[in-house]
Amino acid sequence: MPLDALARTAPGLPAIPLIDAGRDGPNALAVAAPDRLARIMAISEKRYGRVALALGDRISRRWLERTANPYLGEIAAVARMVGRPGAHLLNLSYEWTCTSSVGPDPDGDGSRLLRTLDWPLDGLGRNVIVARQHGEAGVYYNVTWPGFSGVVTAMAPGRFSAAINQPPLRRYTPSCWLDWAISRGRTFRSDALPPAHLLRRVFDTCRTFDAAKAMLTETPICLPAFFVLSGTRPDQGCVVERLETCAAVRPAPVSAANHWIALTVPGRTRGFDSEGRCALMERLRDRAADDFGWVAPPILNETTRLAVSATAARGWLAAWGFESTGPATAVFRL
C-alpha cells in the first residue's frame, strides 16, 4: 500500500494542528500547544541530559544576547513559560539532515518544493504543527514546533516556498568531535544570524522570489547552510549553497541532500546515504504526484521525522509527521 494511502487508512493517527500565530510567533504557539512544547522539552532533556542541556542553554543565551539577536525576546519568553533550561539551546540546534528538491509543479504552472527532515530525536514527528504566521510581507505557513523561533520549512502563498538543509561538518582535524568543537567555536565568535533566523526574516519581509533569493545569497550567516527556494513560476527555483559570507547558486530543476555540489569544502558526511537520497530525489522529483509516493528509502529512513510538499503558486501545502517506527500523524493538507 502507498504511504499516503497508509496514512489515510491507519487508525489512531493524530492530525497535525493548524495554529494561527498572528504576529506573535513562537509565543502564540507555546500558549496554544503547551503540551507539545512540554513533550519536546522533556524529550530533549532525556536525550542530552539535564546538565549538558543546562550548560548548552546558558552558552546559547549568552551568544544570543551578545549578538543582539532579533528573536531573543521571543525565545526568552518561551524559556520563562517552560520554566527550565533548554529553550535557548534548542533554538540554535542544527544537528538534523534533509533531502529536498525544487522543480516545475506537475499539477500547475508554478514551482514545487519537496523535502524531508531527518533528526534522531524521538517525538518531533508526532509533535509537529503548522503555524499561520503574519509578517510585514504577508501570511506564510510554517511547518514547525512550539517554542522554535526560526523557520526550516515554510510556504508563503503567491510568493515562495523554502527549506533549509544542513551541509557536512567541516573537516579540520582527524577527530570528528574536535571538528565539531572547532565549528561551534567559530559559530559563537560570529555576530551573524543563524540560518533558521535568516529564513524567518525572508518569510517575514520578502515579497518576491527574487528578493528572497537575494537575501539568502547575500546576508552573512553564522555557519554554512543550504537554502532550497521555490517561486511561483516553473523557472523560479534554486539551491543556494552558503558559507558564512559567500554563496553558490544551483538553478532548478535541482535537488539537495547534505553534501556539497557547487562548492568544494572538506567535510564529514551527514545523515544516512546523502548521495543516494539526492540521486533518488533527482529521479522522482519531476514525476512525483502530491501523494508522498516519493517518500521512499533511502529518502525515508529511521531518522525521518517530517515530509513536506509545497507549491506557493496555488497555495498548496502538505505535511506528514514520522517517528522511527513509521507514520506518526495523518497527512495535513492546506
Question: What's the predicted TM-score (pTM) here?
Answer: 0.93
pLDDT of res. 4: 53
Q: Which CATH architecture has domain 3-26+96-333?
A: 4-Layer Sandwich (3.60)
Q: What is the mean pLDDT of residues 98-102?
A: 95
Higher pLDDT, 5 or 133: 133
Instruction: Give the tens place of pLDDT for each residue, 61-89.
Output: 999 999 999 999 999 999 998 888 888 98
Quick check: 8 pLDDT over 80?
no
Instruction: Please provide the DSSP assignment of 190-250 as one string.
Output: --SBPHHHHHHHHHHH--SHHHHHHHHHHS-BSS-EEEEEE-SSTT-EEEEEE-SS-EEEE
Band of residue 1 on the pLDDT scale cut at 50, 70, 90? very low
pLDDT of res. 9: 47
Quick check: 275 pLDDT over 70?
yes
Q: Over the Cα atoms of the chain, what is R_g?
A: 18
Instruction: Give the tens place of pLDDT for each residue, 207-251.
Output: 999 999 999 999 999 999 999 999 999 999 999 999 999 999 999
How long a stretch of residues is the chain?
334
Domain boundaries, the chain: 3-26+96-333
- One-letter amino acid of 180: W
